[in-house]
Chain A
Amino acid sequence: MTLQDTQGINRKADAPLVEFQNVTKVYGKGLAEMKALRGVNLSVNRGEFLAVMGSSGSGKSTCMNILGCLDAPTEGGYLFQGIPVGGLSRDQRALLRRHYLGFIFQGYNLLGRTSAIENVELPLLYRRTPAAMRHTMAMEALKVVGLEGFETHTPSELSGGQQQRVAIARAIVTRPLLLLADEPTGNLDTDRSREIMELLTGFNRDLGITIIMVTHEPDMASYAGRIVHFRDGLVDSDNGKGGTA
């Protein structure tokens, strides 16, 4: 993995993968002001599988958006591999996502009327992977999630569990450093949810992909090695050894 597209960004190999330094996030202004995060400190090392829990409005989604470089903190620092993300431009953050991050959404967010393989190839297109290699990598990713033979199916021809697996294949096809999953099993029944969790656990164990997953189901959280609870915009409990920085 190169940094050719993120000139001027120097990552530190020995730093935690992600680090929140007293991060606050405020939405709105004046009377409508809403503090989503009130000074969160959190650090996650490479290879961890972290479950983020908390009731709605606890700040866990905001936390995920900042982790995913989709949003910037109002105050405090967010370091990704030691890189202060707050100082990056919109485009630089896009490149960070392109090269290091993978996303799984609750609503799958696949492109409609597009075959599974083309959906999986999408992140590779933006990485300018050559066509032949793109195809091989996408096929491989679909195989990993158990969708061999479904390459040409469009989302409407796939079940919810299968769609989420296509979305997972799309997220891991680039072998990201960090996989962010926002309630990946939120729309699925228990059996499908288990299958998805097995997949994620496998990626964490076998491919060494760091995973941060938001969930409100303790069953699902139990697959993770570390569980962080959010309450009222603060980390309420954290059973991990990395702990608060």
Chain B
Amino acid sequence: MYLQTLLIALIEIRRNAMRSFLTILGIIIGVAAVIIMSTIGGGATAKVTADIAKLGSNMLSIRPGQMRGPGGASAEAKPLEMADIEAIERDVKNLEAVAPTSSKGMTIVYGNINWSTSVIGTTNKYLDVRDWEILMGRAFTDSELRTGKMACIIGETVRKELFGGQDPVGENVRLGRQSCKVVGILKSKGQSSFGTDQDDTVLIPLQAFQRRISGNRDIARIYLSVNEGASTETAREDISALLRERRRIGPKEGDDFSVFDMKEVSDTMAGTTEVLTTLLSAVAAVSLLVGGIGIMNIMLVSVTERTREIGVRLAIGAREREVLLQFLVEAVVLSTLGGIMGILFGVSSSFGLTKIFRIPYVLDPFMIVVAFIFSTAIGVLFGFFPARKAARLNPIDALRHE
């Protein structure tokens, strides 16, 4: 009985190629949409998390003044100085590296090519704090750092713009009126999660920056990284206490400096992507629903025709359970086929999309299972229940069905 029914069901699927295709299409769209949305949502989350890790989630930064909106350090705050760094290195526990920085937007010139970039005066510690590797060449030498010699390490974007395919190490570039020898190239970090190009930068020794570019001994920003496993919160509190003491801030006065914890930023970012993922899931759920309604429509529209067909089958001598089994098999075969095609389509196109968006490919098997079960359940439900109703009719009534 089962083999015969399977045969009849397969004949029916082939006979109604168009209707079968439309049913399948609804399921394909539903399943594929969920997979694509969840993959992109998951990929974006993974990307943001990875970016934050790249930025250093164990990183703190200190700048003078209170932050009022982005980049709005108050002018009257006393700048940071080298002595602050020495004090922090001496007194605050669990610090991995402390790097002073000062920066300025400048034009870098090589031959007849100009490029506007951000020049950062710092020490080799900056590379440790930012977890940045030298791709070619070397870091600064002690003598370069001590004497304030004009040596620079350039980011990937700057290298590409100025040198193209040429090897830049050992070449001389000009920063303002200063000539500067390229000693190293940074490994590409790509865009930060804030959308800025981290590779568009030039590093020079802090001494050189202070003497030849800024003309003062101020430090604009200190970057620190805490040891693996140590609390950034504790480090932050220790630093605040130390700086308040050093800057002679009374107990009732507010800080005239700011300490940023990248962990807080990363938490905020993670929260944002969570919202994004929720949003995408909602869109996916709607797609699934729309796909489901598509399946429903096709199935319901064909009920009239199928009711007469059921009447014919019953009159010819099909038993109720044979008719039911046929329709059940049809619905299951179609829905499963659609589900599998939807998975294939969803997985392959989301793979392509993640490549285009340059986000990691994170497949969520749970979502695939949910989408598959939901779509096939709708297919089976709406393929089977109208048929069951028809199969229970008197054959004469089914034949007369208009």
User: Which residues on A are within 8 Å of B, measured CB to CB?
Assistant: 65, 68, 70-71, 90-91, 94-99, 101, 103, 105, 109-114, 118, 122-123, 125-128, 170
Partner of B15, one of A95, A109, A113: A113
Partner of B319, one of A68, A95, A128: A95
Q: Are B312 and A111 in contact (CB under 8 A)?
A: yes
Q: Are A70 and B8 in contact (CB under 8 A)?
A: no
Q: Can you list, as one digit per residue, whether each of B3-33 has a CB less than 8 Å from chain A (1) or not (0)?
A: 0100110010001100000000000000000
CB distance from B253 to the nearest CB of A (A): 87
> How far does the alpha carbon of A128 sit from the alpha carbon of B1 in the complex, in Å?
8
In the bound complex, residues from chain B placing their C-beta under 8 Å from that of A98 are 316-318
Which 8 interchain pairs have the tightest Cβ spacing?
A98-B317, A97-B317, A94-B319, A91-B319, A123-B316, A70-B395, A109-B312, A103-B315
| Given A95-B317, A97-B315, residue A114 in contact with residue B15 (CB < 8 A) | yes
> How far does the alpha carbon of A127 sit from the alpha carbon of B317 in the complex, in Å?
9
> How far does the alpha carbon of A65 sit from the alpha carbon of B320 in the complex, in Å?
18
Residue B208 at the chain A interface, CB threshold 8 Å: no
Residue of chain A at shortest CB distance from B312: A109
Residues of B contacting A: mostly: helix
CB distance from B315 to the nearest CB of A (A): 5
| Given A113-B16, A125-B4, residue A65 in contact with residue B396 (CB < 8 A) | yes
Residue of chain B at shortest CB distance from A105: B399
Partner of B317, one of A105, A109, A118, A126: A126
Q: Are A112 and B305 in contact (CB under 8 A)?
A: yes
| Given A68-B315, A109-B312, residue A126 in contact with residue B322 (CB < 8 A) | yes
Q: Are A126 and B318 in contact (CB under 8 A)?
A: yes
Residue of chain B at shortest CB distance from A131: B7
Q: Which chain B residues in 373-402 approach chain A with CB under 8 Å?
A: 394-396, 399
CB distance from A243 to the nearest CB of B (A): 28
> How far does the alpha carbon of A193 sit from the alpha carbon of B320 in the complex, in Å?
34
In the bound complex, residues from chain B placing their C-beta under 8 Å from that of A94 are 314, 317-320
CB distance from B131 to the nearest CB of A (A): 66
Q: Are B319 and A125 in contact (CB under 8 A)?
A: no
CB distance from A131 to the nearest CB of B (A): 9
Residue of chain B at shortest CB distance from A118: B11
Q: Are A126 and B316 in contact (CB under 8 A)?
A: yes
Q: Are B15 and A90 in contact (CB under 8 A)?
A: no
Q: Quick one: which of A65, A94, A114, A128 has the most chain B CB within 10 A?
A: A94
Q: Can you list, as one digit per residue, whether each of B290-328 has a CB less than 8 Å from chain A (1) or not (0)?
A: 000000000000000100110111111111111000000
CB distance from A28 to the nearest CB of B (A): 14
CB distance from B197 to the nearest CB of A (A): 60
Q: Are B16 and A70 in contact (CB under 8 A)?
A: no
> How far does the alpha carbon of A65 sit from the alpha carbon of B313 in the complex, in Å?
15
> How far does the alpha carbon of A90 sit from the alpha carbon of B398 in the complex, in Å?
15
In the bound complex, residues from chain A placing their C-beta under 8 Å from that of B311 are 109
> How far does the alpha carbon of A122 sit from the alpha carbon of B15 in the complex, in Å?
13
In the bound complex, residues from chain B placing their C-beta under 8 Å from that of A118 are 11, 15
List 20 A–B pairs whose Cβ atoms lie within 8 Å, in order of A's numbering.
Answer: A68-B315, A70-B314, A70-B315, A70-B395, A90-B320, A91-B320, A94-B320, A95-B319, A97-B316, A97-B317, A98-B317, A103-B315, A103-B316, A109-B311, A109-B399, A118-B11, A125-B8, A126-B4, A126-B316, A170-B316
Q: Quick one: which of B308, B312, B315 has the most chain A CB within 10 A?
A: B315
Q: Are A70 and B317 in contact (CB under 8 A)?
A: no
Q: Are A111 and B318 in contact (CB under 8 A)?
A: no
> How far does the alpha carbon of A140 sit from the alpha carbon of B142 in the complex, in Å?
102
Residue of chain B at shortest CB distance from A90: B320
Q: Are A128 and B4 in contact (CB under 8 A)?
A: yes
> How far does the alpha carbon of A69 sit from the alpha carbon of B230 in the complex, in Å?
86
CB distance from A46 to the nearest CB of B (A): 20
In the bound complex, residues from chain B placing their C-beta under 8 Å from that of A113 are 15-16
> How far does the alpha carbon of A98 sit from the alpha carbon of B316 in the complex, in Å?
6
In the bound complex, residues from chain B placing their C-beta under 8 Å from that of A99 are 317
Residue of chain B at shortest CB distance from A109: B312
> How far does the alpha carbon of A128 sit from the alpha carbon of B314 in the complex, in Å?
15
Residue of chain B at shortest CB distance from A110: B312
In the bound complex, residues from chain B placing their C-beta under 8 Å from that of A125 are 4, 7-8
> How far does the alpha carbon of A118 sit from the alpha carbon of B16 in the complex, in Å?
14
CB distance from A228 to the nearest CB of B (A): 20
Residue of chain A at shortest CB distance from B318: A126
CB distance from B230 to the nearest CB of A (A): 73
